[in-house]
Each structure stands twice: as C-alpha cells, then as structure tokens.
Amino acid sequence: MTVRMDSESQHIEVHKFYAGAVLGVCFLSLVLQAFLNRFSPRFQTLELPLLAVAYFGLSRRNSITGLLLGTVVGLLQDGISHTPIGLYGIAKGFIGYIASSIGARLDTEHPISRFILMFLFFHVHQILLALMMRLLLTQHAPFFTFHLLIASLINSGIAVFLFAGLDRLRKQ
C-alpha cells in the first residue's frame, strides 16, 4: 500500500500585512519594552520584542526574513537596554528563524499551539542568552529559574491575546 501526499494538500498560507504594520509593531514593542522597564521592575518579565518577532516569524513563514527581522529587533533592543550589543540580536535572530521554519510546516493559528510555541520560544531565547553570557562574557547566568517559568507563562498567555489582535493587521 502506497500513501501519496500532494504538495497542494499541505499548503499553508503565507500572510501579508498592511504597509508598515511589521515595522510599526516592532518599533512599538521596543518603545513599550523600554518605557515599561524604566517605569517598574515588575514589567521586566515581559518580552514584547520577542513576541513581535515570534508572531511575524510564524505568520510570514520565510526563514530569511524571520532571521533578519529577529536580528534587527534584537540589535535595537541591545541598543536601548543595558546588555552588550549582539546578545539579543543573536537570540532573537535565532528565534525568528526557528519561528519561520515552524510556521512554514505547521498551522499555528490555534491558541493552544500559539501558547505552547511561545512557551518554548521564550525558554530557547533565555537558554541562548544564558549560553552567550557564560561563553562570551564569562558571566554567570541561570539557564532556568522559577522566575523564568513564571515569566514564560505570562508571556505565553499574553501572546495568545496579542497574536489574535495582530491577526487583524493581515491583508485579506
């Protein structure tokens, strides 16, 4: 018995966005992240630029644009934060690439899949940051803490609602 799968039955739609939507959302996420971190230390658990990179990576489904978007957003976040230039750029570039690759293979429109993927992206992002801090900067950075678990759950929950709102920026 031979099972044949047509490539057309596996077609996953690549979403297009209104002009300036990607740049506007990424810029807004960076500005809000910088403002909220200065306003209160409690908001440091939010990772709004990561949410923007993951959303557009999952939606656009092009690995190169996901990598470039993640790298640019990460480098801009490095510039406005107190981290050495390149740490967020590398980590977010990797997440953009992985999100685009996963988005090209799976349907990521369901809220449960979005929650799980964002949970995983958050932890991969944090592991990459900790690895780079340990290897490149010789600083101790934890791979996992209870605080990171809570932050990943918060960010994943916000991602479900944020992604549903960002879906409205898509062209029909």
- Range of the structural domain that residue 33 is part of: 17-39+47-169
27 occurs within a structural domain: yes
154 occurs within a structural domain: yes
**For residue 62, which of 30, 14, 106, 1 has the smallest C-alpha distance?**
14
> Is residue 70 a contact partner of residue 50, using CB atoms and an 8 Å limit?
no
Q: What is the pLDDT of residue 12?
A: 65
3 occurs within a structural domain: no
Q: What is the pLDDT of residue 92?
A: 98
What is the pTM assigned to this prediction? 0.91
Q: Which two tokens stand for residue 156?
A: 């994943």
3 state DSSP class of 170? strand
9 occurs within a structural domain: no
6 occurs within a structural domain: no
CATH of the domain at 147: 1.10.1760
Q: What is the pLDDT of residues 120-148, one digit of tens each?
A: 999 999 999 999 999 999 999 999 999 99
Q: What is the pLDDT of residue 10?
A: 53
67 occurs within a structural domain: yes
35 occurs within a structural domain: yes
Domain count across the chain: 1
Least confident range from 1-5, 63-67, 84-88, 127-131: namely 1-5
Q: What is the pLDDT of residue 164?
A: 96
**For residue 52, which of 162, 142, 153, 156 has the smallest C-alpha distance?**
162
11 occurs within a structural domain: no
Q: What is the pLDDT of residues 1-58, one digit of tens each?
A: 433 344 444 556 778 898 899 999 999 999 999 999 888 888 889 999 999 999 999 9
